[in-house]
Amino acid sequence: MALPWLESLNSLAAPAPFPRRFAVLFMGNGINGNHWWARGSGAGMQLGRSLAPLEPLKKKINVINGLFNKPAVGMG
């Protein structure tokens, strides 16, 4: 008689935590903008020469561009 009741306990168990992933890229000397680009999204994303090694992962990554931190450029 206890088996049907025990099967219902699995739904009450806490789900496994989602794995945390974080990646940061720092280019102290900048990048070659002619090669560092991505167009599109998902499986159809086209990657520039510098990002080409990420081709197998392109369905799982986000390529963000256009960010600018004006205070970091100094007073000139």
Alpha carbon distance 49, 53 (integer Å): 8
Whether the predicted model's global pTM rises above the 0.75 cut: no
Is 60 a member of any domain?
yes
> Between the ranges 3-12, 28-37, 44-53, 60-69, where is the mean pLDDT highest?
44-53
**How distant, in Å, are the alpha carbons of 2, 17, 19, 43, 58 from that of 48?**
60, 34, 29, 15, 12
Residue 56's closest CA among 40, 45, 67?
45
Is 23 a member of any domain?
no
Element at 60 (helix H, strand E): none
- Domain count within the chain: 1
Domain region containing 52: 35-65
Is 26 a member of any domain?
no
